């Protein structure tokens, strides 16, 4: 089965700095990766999508990369703010089928 | 409403009982998904509907779990003979994916139903 691994340790970061989260996958490259934000007691909220043939995507202060050689995606939050504190989930999607396979998420805590 | 709605938000049941969890997707979304999330883990896929039919039920853990979507909108996840290990947050999501076009459309999640089996 296809797996997605995220660093289970919480990431503590100072306000204004860049937070970098890692998502590693096994076996073949997924057709796409999606990143979601999840706050306590809430469902995940979609943030960004990157496809297999794309190297980098940006949205406001967010940037995601896709490295098929390293089998890795990096998610960056630049100029981090306390409001960015949440759990961030990486999910892989395949060319066939519609389900997402999620990683365990990385909790980010931005300190003022 | 504008988003995915799940009811109830919390459900406590006794071991061995039957429960139903309801999901109202975003209007017009033909794709509907059920996921299960345990504490500290990511969502785990259960089942995917495209319209009224279950296009992929490979994530259902055993035959105690069943889901329906008779009219292609509201879906119900049914769990028979509940066990303590079924305790988790059950998430529903919908998307505009038709199954023919792009499959990478974003999924909109509800806030989940927290099921506790005692």
Q: CA–CA separation, A41 vs B110, rounded Å?
A: 11
* Mean pLDDT (whole number) for B35-56: 95
Q: Is A22 exposed, middle or buried (CB count within 10 Å of its CB: 0-12, 13-18, 19+)?
A: middle
Closest by CA position to B104, among listed A97, A54, A37, A66: A97
Looking at residue B16, its pLDDT comes to: 98
Q: CA–CA separation, A11 vs A8, rounded Å?
A: 9
Structure confidence by residue, pLDDT tens digits, B68-107: 999 999 999 999 999 999 999 999 999 988 876 666 789 9
Looking at residue A96, its pLDDT comes to: 80
Looking at residue B19, its pLDDT comes to: 98
Looking at residue A3, its pLDDT comes to: 85
Q: CA–CA separation, A58 vs B99, rounded Å?
A: 27
Helix or strand holding residue B110 (H, E):
none
Looking at residue A2, its pLDDT comes to: 75
C-alpha to C-alpha distances, B13 to A50, A69, B17, B46, nearest whole angstrom: 41, 48, 7, 21
- The distance of A72 to chain B (nearest Cα, Å) reads 18
Q: CA–CA separation, A92 vs B56, rounded Å?
A: 16
Looking at residue B102, its pLDDT comes to: 66
Looking at residue A98, its pLDDT comes to: 83
* Mean pLDDT (whole number) for B22-32: 96
Where helices occur in chain A by DSSP H, the ranges are: none
Chain A contact for B98, CB < 8 A?
no
Looking at residue B88, its pLDDT comes to: 98
In the structure encoding, which two tokens stand for residue B95, read together? 């998307």
* A93, A98, A105: residue with CB nearest B42: A105
Looking at residue A16, its pLDDT comes to: 98
Closest by CA position to B50, among listed B26, B25, B33, B67: B33
In the structure encoding, which two tokens stand for residue B57, read together? 């039920």
Looking at residue A47, its pLDDT comes to: 97
Give SS3 for B100.
coil
Looking at residue B105, its pLDDT comes to: 84
- Residues with pLDDT less than 70, chain A: 1
Q: CA–CA separation, B94 vs B83, rounded Å?
A: 27
Band of pLDDT at residue B1, cut at 50, 70 and 90: low
Q: Which residue of chain B comes nearest to A88, CA vs CA?
A: B42
Closest by CA position to B80, among listed B22, B23, B32, B13: B13
Per CB-CB distance under 8 Å, the chain A contacts of B109 are 36, 43-45
Structure confidence by residue, pLDDT tens digits, B10-21: 999 999 999 999
């Amino acid at each position: 089965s296809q797996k997605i691994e995220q660093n289970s340790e919480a990431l503590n970061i100072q306000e204004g700095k860049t937070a970098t989260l890692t998502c590693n996958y096994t076996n073949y490259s997924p057709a796409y990766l999606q990143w979601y934000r999840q706050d306590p007691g809430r469902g995940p909220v979609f943030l960004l999508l990157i496809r297999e043939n794309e190297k980098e995507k940006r949205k406001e202060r967010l940037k995601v990369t896709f490295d098929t050689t390293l089998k890795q995606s990096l998610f960056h939050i630049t100029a981090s703010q306390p409001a960015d504190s949440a759990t961030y989930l990486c999910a892989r999607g395949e060319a066939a089928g519609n389900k997402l396979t999620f990683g365990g998420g990385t909790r980010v805590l931005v300190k003022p | 409403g504008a988003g995915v709605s799940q009811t109830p938000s919390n459900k406590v049941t006794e071991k061995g009982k039957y429960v139903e969890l309801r999901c109202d997707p975003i209007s017009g979304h033909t794709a509907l998904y059920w996921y299960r999330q345990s504490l500290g883990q990511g969502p785990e896929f259960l089942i995917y509907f495209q319209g009224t039919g279950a296009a992929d039920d490979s994530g259902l853990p055993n035959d105690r779990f069943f889901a329906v979507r008779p009219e292609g909108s509201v879906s119900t996840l049914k769990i028979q003979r509940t066990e303590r290990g079924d305790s988790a947050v059950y998430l529903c999501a919908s998307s505009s994916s038709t199954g023919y076009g792009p499959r990478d459309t974003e999924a909109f999640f509800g806030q989940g139903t927290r099921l506790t089996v005692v």
